[in-house]
Amino acid sequence: MTSKRSPFRTVLTLSAILAGGFFSFSAPAFAQGLPGMGGKQPVEINADQAIEWHQDVRAYVARGNASAKRNDSTVFADVLTAYYREVPGKGNEVFQLVADGNVRIVSPTQQVFGDHGVYDVDKQVAVVTGKDLKLVTTKDVVTARDSLEYYEAQDLTVARGDAVAVRGNDRLRADVLIGRLKKMPDGTTQMERIDGSGNVVVTTPTDVALAEKLVYSVADNVAVLMGNVKITRGDNQLNGEAAEMNMNTKINRVIAGRDAGGRVSGLLIPGEKNGPGAPAGKKP
């Protein structure tokens, strides 16, 4: 079997019970189906080279620039494998979809890139791993070293391992970033909040903040930092147990913890125009 791109595309329909999220596919209903596949929700599978039915392991394998589409979302990969099981009285249903090689998941509002992807239908969990992991939305870019995960039932996205979220000129970095989603009346989802833990770094055009934990409100554009907080602006620095950073007003408020004796500490360098708690362009 040659790896050269064929001028024709192999097309089939998998009637699969698949939930939404990263692997939320759709396609129009086709009259034709495959042996061993039942259910009411068809998934359109395309491939350049071949589509194989492995009855011994109960799987369908699409090879060569493969894609799986349902509604307005599509998964692309070098190889796509759909595992199914027999359900007494109900026919067969897909319980896992695996994507390998040049994985790209595309929907109207986001794209996910990686080398390997697994969607567990029962748990409604998608995990993408590999090099150069990236999630791109209309406003944000999220990268991670270890994995990008989506938990549909909990409306959560998780970036693990040196995770970075970038929006405009602002950056959030942590060992783990958790995005909490909110369902909108029109059926779409929007990022409502981002939680960060481990080696948190918040970078804006004027400030750099370090902390142990982070809670970022997307709508308010405000970050709350907790644990050994240090905020620097130029050579100036403020220290405390917690802090609030307003990305819009550029005003930071540092709070002392019990260990600090109810006080905050700071280092203000004469001649600096702005302290780390003052708006940019104004003296503190």
pLDDT per 10-residue tile (average), the chain, 284 residues? 42 38 29 37 80 90 89 88 87 87 88 93 90 89 95 89 93 95 76 94 94 94 93 88 90 72 53 52 43
Half-sphere exposure of 80 (CA within 13 A, CB side): 30
Q: What is the pLDDT of residue 260?
A: 47
